[in-house]
Structure 1
Amino acid sequence: MAPIPKPPADPQDNPDAYVGLDADGAERLARERGWSTVRSLPPGAIITMEYRVGRLNFEVKDGQVTRSWKG
């Protein structure tokens, strides 16, 4: 019998830790900490709301992360 697959999990990381960092540095750090996808968005961007495990979203204004959330 085949093993039951275990879905991937989000890294044990606090998204709030990225707020205030420059966008490029925040993306590098997020990938080092295990995030498979990092998405940078301008303020007020229209986005899909599906939750994706392993994705970290940044709202970026003037090259700086102003908000960060999982999914």
Structure 2
Amino acid sequence: MAPIPTPSAQPDDAPDAYVGLAGEAAERLARARGWTTVRSLAPGSIITMEYLEGRLNFEVADGTVIRCWRG
């Protein structure tokens, strides 16, 4: 039987800390803190709902992060 894969670790980081930052600055900071995938989305974007370990999602309006969540 094949071993069960161990999910990669994700940074111990509070998503709320990115709210209010400029989108590009927030993305650079997230990558510097170890997030492997950073996704910026416009408000109301249609996205898939699968959870991806190590991904940080930003909802960006007028160049500013208004919402942030893991996965």
Q: State if a TM-score over 0.5 links the two structures.
A: yes
**How many residues matched?**
69
Aligned to 2:30: 30
1:30-64: CA deviations, max 9, x gaps? 00000000000000100000000000000000000
Percent identity reads 71
Deviation at residue 19 of structure 1 after TM alignment:
0.1
Q: Which residue matches 1:49?
A: 49
CA distance in 2 between counterparts of 1:49 and 1:4 reads 23
User: What is the alpha-carbon root mean square deviation over aligned residues?
Assistant: 1.4
> TM-score, with normalisation over the residues of structure 2?
0.91
Q: 1:46 to 1:4 in 2, by over 3 A?
A: closer
Residue 4 of structure 1: how far off its partner (Å): 7.4
Within-5 A mapping of 1:1-71? 6-71=6-71
Structure 2 unaligned runs (5+)? none
TM normalised by structure 1 equals: 0.91
Misfit runs of 4+, over 6 Å: none
Q: Gaps spanning 5+ residues in structure 1: where? A: none
